[in-house]
Chains A and B, each alone.
Chain A
Amino acid sequence: MRDDASTENPLDTVLQVARRHGRDDLVERLTAAGARAGRRRAVVAVVGDYKQGKSSLINALVGAAVCPTDDYEATAVLIVLYGAERGRVTVVTSDADGRPGRADVSADELPRLALSGAEAPQRIERIEVAVADSALGPDIALVDTPGIGALTPARAAAALAFLPLADGVIFVKDAGAELGATALAFLEQAVDLCPIVCVALTKTDTTVGWRAVRDRDASHLAAARLSMRIFPVAPQLAHATVGDASVVAESGVDELRRYVVDELSERGKQWRWRREQQDVRTSANALADALEAELAALGGDPAAAVRQAEETLREARTAGGRWAGELGRDFQSIAGDLDHARGTGIRAARRRLEQLIAGTDPAETWPDLAAQIHREVAELVGELSATFEERTGQASLTAAGMLRVDPPALEATWDVGEAEALIRTIPDDPGMRQRRKVATAIDTLRGSYGGMLLLGMFANLVAIPAALPVSVGVGVAFGTRQYREVSGRARDQRRQVAVRVVHQTLDAADFELSARVRRLLRELSRELSAYYTTQSERAVAAAEAAYRAARQMEGAARKERDQRRELLEHDLASLRSLPVELR
C-alpha cells in the first residue's frame, strides 16, 4: 500500500480508506459506481424519414446485418444496438397494466417484431441488440428510430423528444432530393437539443448527380447557419462483393464511423469523469465526516461516544421504517393531482376548441382545427410532464432528507450549466415552451433514474399528440365540395360533427394520458423504492459499524486509542490530499 495518495487514483484512495474502516456501504457504492461509469455508452440516435436507408446505414456502421430492412414495412420500434462480446437480442415489453418484461429472442425474430406489420400481444417498448464485435466498439450505442414519416410537424416534435436522450444524432436522408424546409426546421431544433448532429447522405452509389444535391444541402445548411458535416454514404458498397477493398472505402461508411467514434468517445470520457468525480466526492465527504466524528469522540468520554453512536443507529433504523410510507403517500397524492390537472386541462381544451368551432365553418377550417387539437394535447402533455418532474423530484428529496442521503438525482451526472445554456437558446414561443418543458423533464430523468429504463415510456408519453388519429376521414364527413351545402343548417351540422370529433379525440388523449402517466408513476416509484431501500440499508450498516467501533474503544487501553487516533489522522490526511474538486 502506497502512502502518497496524490499519485494514486482518487477512487482507489477513498476505497482503501473505506475498506479500512469497515464501511462496506461505501465500498459497494464506489465499486458499483466505477463499474457503472465504465459501462456508460454514448447514445447516437439515427433519425430520418421513412425509406431513406436508416437501417442499412446502421448495419454498415456496426458491421453486421442486424436491423431488418424491407421494401414495404418500416422499422416501427426503437432498436438499441451496442457492442458486446456475444450477440444477444432482448425484447423489452410492457403488458396492459404496464408491468415490464424482458425476454431474449433469436435474432431471426427481429423482422417479425420490429417492422411495422408486426403484431405482438404485448407492447414492445424497445428491442436491445448486443452486437458481437460491433465496428463501433463497446462505448457507443446506436438507436434505430422509427421513421418520422415525411416529417410532419407533429411527428417531428415526437422525434425531437428523443434527442435530449441522445449524445449524438445522425440525420439520414437520401441523395434523391435536397433538404426541404421542414427537414431544415427539424435540424435547427435538433442542434439546440443535442450537441453533435451530422447528416448522412445515403444512396450515393446509385443516385446520379448526388454531388449537386450535397452542395445544395450544404448551402441550405449554411443559409440556416447550421454548421454540421454532411457525409455521403453508400451502405450497400460497404459489403459489396464486386471489386476490391477500394469499393468499401468508397462507401464512405468508415469516415462517418470515425467521426462518430472520435466525437463521442471524448464526450463519453468526460461524462464518465464527471460521474466518477461525483461518486468519489460524496463518499470521501461521508468518510471524512465519520472519521472526524470518531476522532472527536476519542478525545472525550468513551461512554458518551457509545451513547452518541447508539442514538445515530436508532435514528437510522427509524428513518428506514418511515421513508417508504412517506414516499408512497407522496406518490398517491401526485397521482391524484396529475389526474386532476389532466381532467381540468382536457376540459379547458374542449371549451377552447368548441369556441373555435362556433365561430367558423369547419369545412373550411378543419386543417387548422386539427392542428389546434394537436397543439392543445401537446401543451397538456408538456404541463403534465413539468408537474410530474417537479413533484416526483420533491418526493424523492423528502425521502432523501429523511434518510440523510443524496437523492438519485446526482447533479454532476448532467452538467447543470450546460442544460441551462441549452434552455436559454430555445426561443420563447408557446410551441417551443412545451417542447422545452418536455426536454427538461427528460434531461432530469436521464440524469436521475438511469434514463434508458424510462426512455421508451417517456418517449411514448411525448408521442401522444403525434399519434392521435384526428384527421382521419374527417374531410369525408364534411362532404365533398359540390355536395357541400352552404346553408346555415348544413354548417351547423358540420359544426356538430367537428365538436364530436374534438370530443372523441380528446377522450382518446385523456385515456391514453391517464394510463401512461399512471404507468410512469408506478415505474418511477418502484425505481425510487429500490434506490432508497439500498440507501437505507447502507445508512444502517454505517451506523452499526460506527457503533461497533465506539464499543470497542470504550473498553480499550490508552495505547490502542492512540493507535486508533493515529490511523484516523492519517486517513483524514489522505482524504484531504485529494484534488480540490473532489473535496
Chain B
Amino acid sequence: MSGFAEVVAGLAEQLAAADSSLAGEVTRLRSRLQGPVRVALLGPAKSGKSTLLNALVRERLAATAAEEATQFVTTYSYDDRYRVEAVTEDGMRRDVGFHRDGGLTIDDAVDEDVVRIEVGWPATGLRHMTLIDTPGLDSIIIDQDDRTAEMLEGEEAVDAAIVLMRRLHASDADFLESFATGAFGSRVNAVAVLSRADEVAGSAPDAMARADAMAGRYEAEPRIAALCAAVVPVSGILAEAAALLTEAEYHELAELAARADVEELTVSVDRFAGVSEAATGLLRRLGMFGVRRAVEAITAGRVHSGADLADHCADLSGIERLRSTIDRHVAGRADALRARAALRRLQSLAASSPTGADVLRSLEAAEVSAPELVAIRLEALVFGGEAELNDEEVREAVAIAADLAADERDRDRLVAAVERWRTAAADPRGIPATAEARELVARLYEVRLSRLE
C-alpha cells in the first residue's frame, strides 16, 4: 500500500471506531484497498467486450455469440477454486451450477432478481486485475442500463474502465464523457478501445493498419484526448484466437490454404463456411479478416505450426499494446485509484453517520492533501481543456503529475518553482480553473520539497 492508501485505511479504522454499526462495511473497504484493481469492460452491445475479456484472461470465460450474449454484470476475479455465485438485489448469494468445457458454461437459469454474477477462477490473468463484463449499453445513453450504472457508482465501484467502441466519432464522445466526468472524474482510468478493428474497411487486408491510423486521429481530437488516456485498436477475436487456437485447427486451416480455389473461397463468409464444418469453425474462431490473413501467411510460408499461427494472430490483434497501455495507465495507478474509490465511499458513510463528522473532516483534509489525488485532478483540468495553460505550462504540469515519486534534491529550484506557480495562480486575469491548476502544480512541488525536510 502507498502512503495515501495507508492514510485511507487508517481513517477507515477511525470511522469504524466512531460508529460501530459501520464495522462490517469498513472491513470490506479495507480488503478492497488491498485487493486487485477492478477494471470494467464497457461499451455498446456487440462491441466485443466478452471476446476481449477472454483474450485478456487467455481463457474462454465469458460467453460470446452473434446475438447479445452478456445479460448480467459479471465479475471475474482470481480464486484458487472454481466458483460461480449469483448475487440478488437483497445482497443474498447463492451458488450457480456450471461446468468447465475448455471454458465456463453456466447451466442454471438465472432469475430476474439477480443483480450480479461473480465468477472465481484460478486464471493467472486475473491475479492482478479483476475484470467486470457488462451487458451492452444500447446506444450511448448510459442510464439506459441501470445495472451497469449501479455497478459503476455503487459500493462495488470499479477503479478503471476499458471503453470499447466499434467506431468513435467526435459526437459520440458523449459516451466517454459520461464515464470520465460522471463515474470517475479523470482521464487516467479510462482507455478507449477501437474494438473489432479487423472489420474496418470491409475487413480489407490492411484493416488493422487503417484502424491504427483512425485511432491516432481519434486520439488527436481534443475532446477525446480529454476523456481517455489512449485509443487503442484491437481485434478481440484475433487476440482470443491467439490464446485459444489449437494445433488441430492450424492443420485444418493449412489444408484449406493449400486448395487451388482458396482465393475465391475467401471472397465471403458464406463461400468459406460452405466448404466444411471445420471451415465454419475456423471462421468463428478467426473471423473473415483472420482467415484471409492466416491463409496468406501459411501460403507465404511464414507460419508453420499452431504456435506460429497463435503468434501471428497475437501480433495482428494489437492485444499486447492494449496490455501495456493498461499497465501504464491503469495498473500503475491502481493503488491511488482504489484508495480514492474507498475514500469516496468512506465520505458518504461518514456523512450519513451521526457520529461521523470528525472523520468526515479528516477525510476531506486527506483528500485535498493527497498528492495522488492532486495529480489526478490536475490532469483532469489540463486534459479536460478547462484550465487555460500555455504549452510550456501544460508540459510542466503533465510531467510533475506523472512522476510523483521523483527524488529531486535541488531545493532552490523547487522553492522557485513553488513561488513561480503560486504567483501565476494569483494572476487575476486567469479563470478559476486555470488558477486551480496552477495552484495544484505548486502543491505538487511542495510535496517534493517536503520530502527534503
A interface residues, Cβ below 8 angstroms from B = 50-51, 53, 56, 71-72, 74, 147, 149-152, 176-178, 180-182, 203-210, 212-213, 216, 234, 236-237, 240, 242-243, 247, 250, 367, 471-473, 475-478, 480-483, 486
B172 contacts which chain A residues (CB < 8 A)? 50, 149-150
A212 adjacent to B182 (CB under 8 Å)? no
Instruction: Tell me which residues across on chain A come within 8 A of B340, comparing CB atoms.
Output: 482
Decide: B203 and A209 in contact? CB cutoff 8 A: no
Are B214 and A250 in contact, with the CB atoms below 8 A?
no
Which residues from A are CB-within-8-Å of B167? 50-51
Residue B359 lies at the interface, judged by CB distance under 8 Å to chain A: no
Q: Which of B139, B181, B287 contacts A480 (CB 8 A)?
A: B181
Set A204, A213, A243, A472: member contacting B66, Cβ < 8 A: A213
**Minimum Cβ distance to chain B for residue A126 (Å):** 20
Q: Which residues of B contact A209 (CB under 8 A)?
A: 65-66, 284
**Cα separation A234 to B202 with both chains bound (whole Å):** 9
Contacts A247-B268, A473-B385, A481-B185 known; 14 new A-B pairs at CB < 8 A: A53-B202, A149-B172, A176-B46, A205-B202, A205-B270, A209-B65, A210-B66, A212-B67, A242-B264, A472-B223, A475-B182, A476-B380, A478-B181, A480-B181
Expressed in whole angstroms, the minimum distance between the Cβ of A208 and any Cβ of chain B is 5
B386 touches A476 (CB 8 A): yes
Task: Give the contact stretch, choosing among B76-84, B117-125, B193-201, B322-330.
Answer: B193-201
- Known A50-B167, A237-B268; judge A208-B288 contact (CB<8 A): yes
- CB neighbours (8 Å) of A482 from chain B are 185, 340, 343-344, 347, 367, 373
CB neighbours of A247 from chain B (8 A): 267-268
Q: Which of B371-410 contact A (CB under 8 A)?
A: 373, 377, 380, 384-386
> How many A-B pairs fall under 8 Å by CB?
151
> A178-B46, A473-B385 in contact; A213/B185 too (CB < 8 A)?
no
Residues of A within 8 A of B203 (CB): 206
Contact pick for A71, options B214, B344, B373, CB 8 Å: B214
Write the chain A residue with the least CB distance to B270: A250
The 9 listed contacts between A and B (C-beta, < 8 Å) are A71-B213, A177-B46, A181-B138, A182-B138, A206-B269, A208-B66, A475-B180, A482-B343, A482-B373
Which chain B residues lie closer than 8 Å to A178 at the CB level?
45-46, 67-68
In the assembled complex, the CB of B284 is this many whole angstroms from the nearest CB of chain A, namely 6
Contact B269 A71 (CB under 8 A): no
B267 touches A240 (CB 8 A): yes
Closest-by-CB residue of B relative to A209 is B66
Whole-angstrom distance from the CB of A183 to the nearest CB of chain B? 8
Chain B residues within 8 Å of A, Cβ to Cβ: 44-47, 65-68, 138-141, 143-144, 166-167, 169, 171-172, 174-175, 177-178, 180-186, 196, 199-203, 210-211, 213-214, 217, 223, 263-264, 267-271, 273, 283-284, 287-289, 340, 343-344, 347, 351, 367, 373, 377, 380, 384-386
Q: In the bound complex, do residue A243 and residue B185 qualify as a contact, i.e. CB atoms below 8 Å apart?
A: no
In the bound complex, CA of A335 to CA of B398 (Å) = 53
Among residues of A, the one whose C-beta sits closest to the C-beta of B289 is A206
Minimum C-beta distance from A253 to chain B (A): 13
Choice from B141, B174, B223, B267 contacting A243 with Cβ under 8 Å: B267
In angstroms, Cα B310 to Cα A308, docked, is 98
Q: Once bound together, how far apart are the Cα atoms of A317 and B244, in whole Å?
A: 88
Given A243-B267, A480-B377, A482-B340, decide whether A74 and B169 contact each other with a Cβ distance below 8 A: yes
Chain A hits for B139, CB < 8 A: 150-152, 180-182
Is B268's CB under 8 angstroms from A72's CB? no
The interface residues of chain A lying within 8 Å CB-to-CB of B223 are: 472
B290 to chain A, nearest CB (A): 10
Residue of A at shortest CB range from B344? Answer: A482
- Chain A residue nearest to B202 (CB atoms) is A236
Q: Is the CB of A206 within 8 A of B283?
A: no
Question: Which residues of the other chain, B, contact A51 by a CB distance below 8 angstroms?
Answer: 166-167, 169
- Are the C-beta atoms of A203 and B202 separated by less than 8 Å? yes
A50 CA to B218 CA, complexed, in Å = 15
- A-B pairs, top 6 by smallest CB distance, nearest first, are A480-B185, A475-B181, A177-B46, A209-B66, A212-B66, A205-B268
Across-interface contacts of B217 in A (CB, < 8 A): 72
Assembly CA distance A151 to B138 (angstroms): 10
Which residues of chain A are within 8 angstroms of B351 by Cβ–Cβ distance?
486
Flag if A480 contacts B186 (CB, 8 Å). Answer: yes
How far apart are the CA atoms of A51 and B194 in the complex, in Å?
A: 13
Q: When the two chains form their complex, are residues B288 and A149 in contact, meaning their CB atoms are under 8 A apart?
A: no
Question: Shortest CB–CB separation between residue A368 and chain B, in angstroms?
Answer: 10
CB of A50 within 8 A of CB of B169, answer: yes
A-chain residues with CB within 8 Å of residue B344 when the two chains form the complex: 481-482
Identify which of B181, B196, B211 gathers the most chain A CB atoms within 10 Å of its CB: B181
Q: Considering the complex, give the chain A residue whose CB is closest to the CB of B171.
A: A149
- Provide the residues of chain B in CB contact with A242, threshold 8 Å: 263-264, 267
Chain B residue numbers with a CB within 8 Å of A207 are: 199, 269, 288
User: When chains A and B are docked, how far (Å) is the Cα of A209 from the Cα of B67?
Assistant: 9
The residues of B that contact A210 with a CB separation of less than 8 Å are: 66, 269
CA A212 to CA B199, docked complex, whole Å = 18
